[in-house]
């Protein structure tokens, strides 16, 4: 990766590796929530209500995973990072079950996957810190890319290098400026890391 200080790359899933295809307002309406983040609202519910809401959320997530489409160059960028000797990890607020559907559907491989089943979730720094500890890599040498505010908050709170994938935004949201870098595609992100892909989408690493 050229002279970029990058020992570890962490990807968000929905809207980052995959094209956005889940409507959170529809999920809130189906559960009966207002504007509060879904997982945080579920955590406050009594057990019976929580079980019902979890089932609704899982149904939406499974449907989105079954119909998911990758962002352009997602496979190539992830493969190039791993081929360069840096681990590529995935962190998501989805369940392991829906993540497994996406991984199988698109034949994606990661060196570590951290889901909402594994502990405290974004926007807290815990997911990034857990992944960094697993690889014994300092957050300051870790790059985190995501399409949503929680991804940026999580990365920044952990002391990692945050990258906002703003592909879905015609006008950048105010929080986008909290990210260290802003890119419009995974291809642009790969160039930021010092990786370029040739016209046949075969990874070409610096010095190759």
Smallest Cα–Cα separation from 99: which of 40, 170, 16, 175? 16
Q: Which residues contact 110 (CB under 8 A, 6 or more apart)?
A: 11, 78, 88, 89, 90, 103
179 pLDDT band, cuts 50/70/90, is very high
Cβ burial, residue 55 (10 Å; 0-12/13-18/19+): exposed
Q: How confident is the model over 82-91, as a mean pLDDT?
A: 95
Helix intervals (H) in 32-166:
38-43, 47-66, 74-83, 96-106, 126-135, 149-158
| pLDDT for res 129 | 98
Mean pLDDT check: name the lowest of 34-38, 45-49, 53-57, 64-68.
Answer: 34-38
pLDDT score, position 131: 98
Q: What domains are there in the chain, each with its CATH number? A: 8-19+70-204 (3.40.50.1000), 24-66 (no CATH)
Full-model pTM: 0.90
pLDDT band at 197 (very low <50, low <70, confident <90, very high): confident
Backbone φ and ψ of 169, nearest 5°: -105, 120
Position 19 scores a pLDDT of 94
Residues 194/3, Cβ–Cβ less than 8 Å: yes
Alpha carbons 154 and 169: distance in angstroms, whole number:
20
List pLDDT tens digits, range 19-43.
988 888 999 999 999 888 999 999 9
More confident: 117 or 204 = 117
Report pLDDT digits (tens) over 112-144. 999 999 999 999 999 999 999 999 999 999 999
| 7-16: pLDDT as tens digits | 999 999 999 9
**Quick one: pLDDT at residue 3?**
62
The string of DSSP letters for 146-167 reads ESSHHHHHHHHHHT-EEEEE-T
- 105-144 b/e (C-beta count within 10 Å ≥ 16 → b): eeebebbebbbbeeeebbbebbbbbbbbeebebebeebbb
Whole-number percent of the chain with pLDDT over 90: 84
- Directed axis angle between helix 96-106 and helix 47-66, to 10°? 10
Instruction: Kindly list the distances between the CA atom of residue 150 and the CA atoms of 75, 86, 162, 202, in Å, as whole numbers in the listed order.
Output: 24, 24, 11, 32
């Amino acid at each position: 990766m050229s002279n970029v200080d990058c020992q570890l790359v962490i990807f968000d899933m929905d809207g980052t590796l995959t094209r956005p295809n889940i409507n959170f307002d529809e999920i809130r309406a189906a559960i009966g929530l207002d504007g509060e983040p879904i997982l945080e609202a579920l955590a406050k519910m009594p057990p019976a209500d929580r079980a019902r809401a979890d089932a609704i959320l899982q149904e939406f997530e499974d449907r989105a995973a079954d119909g998911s489409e990758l962002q352009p160059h997602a496979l190539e960028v992830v493969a190039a990072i791993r081929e360069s000797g840096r681990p590529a990890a995935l962190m998501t607020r989805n369940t392991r079950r829906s993540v497994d559907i996406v991984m199988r559907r698109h034949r994606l491989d990661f060196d570590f996957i951290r889901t909402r089943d594994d502990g405290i979730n974004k926007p807290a720094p815990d997911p990034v810190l857990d992944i960094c500890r697993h690889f014994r890599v300092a957050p300051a040498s870790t790059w985190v890319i995501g399409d949503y505010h929680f991804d940026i908050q999580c990365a920044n709170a952990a002391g990692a290098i945050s990258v906002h994938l703003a592909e879905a935004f015609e006008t950048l949201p105010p929080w986008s400026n909290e990210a260290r870098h802003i890119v419009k595609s995974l291809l642009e992100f790969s160039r930021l890391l010092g990786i370029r892909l040739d016209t046949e989408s075969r990874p070409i690493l610096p010095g190759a």
